[in-house]
């Protein structure tokens, strides 16, 4: 197959959760620019509609749908609506995250709330989307974890800021997601479905200057991730160009953890 065809997502139906978030918007953009029909989801339909409109105005095929992954009723309804409207699912980008826990000593209720969305709800949604992909003949599941799911924190990055009280839930569920993805690759062997993780480093989002200085001087490329950085990798894993990549976790951190 020609290399341009290998990376082409034309004809593919792709769901991106948390598509209105920071990395979510980049993922929606990349998948749509590669030719896919991208369904961007939010808990709040207006938020998804706003994101979709942004990309539709550039001629990209981005469609909004409502989904709360922590609500089993919402997950079930979403899968039914998706089937009715689009008939198939080729790619699921598991990107949504909730961050209710504020710091190491945050109440356990915050930890439980995080697990409700980032663990229990996510597994419910993953199983549902996997069923849809398998019923469509196969495809790709891309989970967005974090370098913080692979390493302990480097607290020196937060010197001179008030950002250093990191919550335990984020490290716990992101690490779990990486191995969950490998598990799924083995469990669904023989069904033409691939499971991979991307573990990004920090995305530039106007963080305090002290943090940017601390962080960027450790990155061999000298900067945080920008809005384009995740797009190519995500399209690779979604497309036929990545057809033999399965059960993998790819660190995308500019060399920070090299
Ligand atoms: N931003 C970064 O610097 C960074 C770095 C490394 C990894 N990541 C990873 O990237 C992914 C996205 O993170 P982000 O920073 O873009 O987050 P974000 O907070 O900007 O976006 C997350 C989205 O998930 C949605 N969401 C929350 N609860 C939900 C629920 N119950 N159901 C459906 N959607 C829900 C939110 O509304 C939001 O739109 C996460 O997996 C995160 O671990 C982010």
Q: What torsion, rounded to 10 degrees, do the Cα atoms 63, 69, 74, 80 define?
A: 60
Q: Which of 128, 97, 93 is nearest to 114 (CA)?
A: 97
Q: Distances in Å between the alpha carbon of 20 and those of 4, 68, 255? A: 28, 13, 27
Q: Ligand 1: which of 16, 19, 21, 119 to mutate, most ligand atoms within 8 Å of CB? A: 21
Ligand 1 mean position to 1 CA, how many Å?
A: 35
Residue 179 CB coordination number (10 Å): 13
Q: What does the alpha-carbon distance between residue 73 and residue 182 come to, in Å, rounded to a whole number? A: 27
Class of 3-250 per CATH? alpha beta
Contact 38, 65 (CB under 8 A): no
Please tell me if the CB atom of residue 254 comes closer than 6 angstroms to any atom of ligand 1. Answer: no
Distance, CA of 217 to chain centre:
26
State the pLDDT at residue 84: 98
pLDDT by position in tens, the chain (length 258): 999 999 999 999 999 999 999 999 999 999 999 999 999 999 999 999 999 999 999 999 999 999 999 999 999 999 999 999 999 999 999 999 999 999 999 999 999 999 999 999 999 999 999 999 999 999 999 999 999 999 999 999 999 999 999 999 999 999 999 999 999 999 999 999 999 999 999 999 999 999 999 999 999 999 999 999 999 999 999 999 999 999 999 999 999 999
List b or e across 212-244, with b for residues whose CB sees 16 or more CB atoms inside 10 angstroms: bebbbeebeeeebbeeebbbebbbbbbbebbee
Atom 23 of ligand 1, nearest CA residue: 18
Q: What does the alpha-carbon distance between residue 45 and residue 39 come to, in Å, rounded to a whole number? A: 12
Enumerate the domain spans of the chain: 3-250
State the pLDDT at residue 48: 98
Ligand 1 mean position to 16 CA, how many Å?
A: 11
**Ligand 1 atom closest to Cα of residue 149:** 43
What does 134-203 look like in DSSP terms, one character per residue?
Answer: HHTT-EEEEEE--GGGTS---GGGGTTSS-----HHHHHHHHHHHHHHHHHHHHTTTSSEEEEEEEE-PB
Q: Ligand 1: which of 23, 123, 223 to mutate, most ligand atoms within 8 Å of CB? A: 23
State the pLDDT at residue 54: 98
Q: Token digits for 190? A: 């023989």
Contact 210, 161 (CB under 8 A): yes
Please tell me if the CB atom of residue 118 comes closer than 6 angstroms to any atom of ligand 1. Answer: no
Q: Distances in Å between the alpha carbon of 93 and those of 125, 244, 247? A: 11, 18, 15
Q: Which of 182, 91, 174, 94 is nearest to 134 (CA)?
A: 91
Alpha-helical (H) ranges within the chain are 3-6, 22-33, 45-56, 72-86, 108-115, 122-135, 168-187, 209-216, 229-238
Contact 197, 143 (CB under 8 A): yes
Q: Token digits for 182? A: 């490998």
């Amino acid at each position: 197959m020609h290399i341009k065809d290998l990376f082409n997502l034309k004809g593919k139906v792709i769901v991106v959760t948390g598509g209105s978030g920071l990395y979510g918007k980049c993922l929606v953009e990349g998948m749509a620019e590669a030719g896919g029909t991208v369904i961007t989801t939010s808990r709040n339909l207006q938020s998804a509609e706003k994101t979709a409109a942004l990309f539709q105005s550039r001629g990209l095929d981005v469609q909004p749908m409502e989904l709360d992954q922590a609500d089993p009723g919402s997950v079930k309804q979403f899968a039914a609506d998706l089937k009715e409207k689009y008939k198939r699912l080729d790619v699921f980008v598991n990107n949504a995250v909730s961050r209710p826990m504020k710091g190491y000593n945050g109440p356990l209720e915050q930890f439980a709330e995080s697990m409700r969305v980032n663990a229990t709800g996510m597994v419910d949604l993953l199983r549902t989307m996997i069923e849809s992909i398998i019923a469509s003949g196969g495809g790709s599941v891309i989970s967005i974890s974090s370098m913080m799911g692979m390493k302990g924190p480097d607290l020196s990055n937060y010197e001179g800021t008030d950002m250093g009280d990191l919550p335990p839930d984020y490290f716990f569920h992101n690490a779990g997601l990486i191995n969950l993805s490998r598990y799924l690759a083995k469990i669904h062997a023989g069904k033409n479905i691939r499971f991979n993780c991307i573990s990004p480093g920090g995305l530039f989002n106007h963080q305090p200057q002290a943090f940017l200085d601390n962080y960027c001087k450790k990155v061999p490329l000298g900067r945080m991730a920008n809005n384009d950085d995740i797009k190519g990798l995500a399209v690779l894993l979604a497309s036929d160009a990545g057809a033999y990549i399965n059960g993998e976790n790819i660190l995308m951190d500019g060399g920070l953890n090299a």
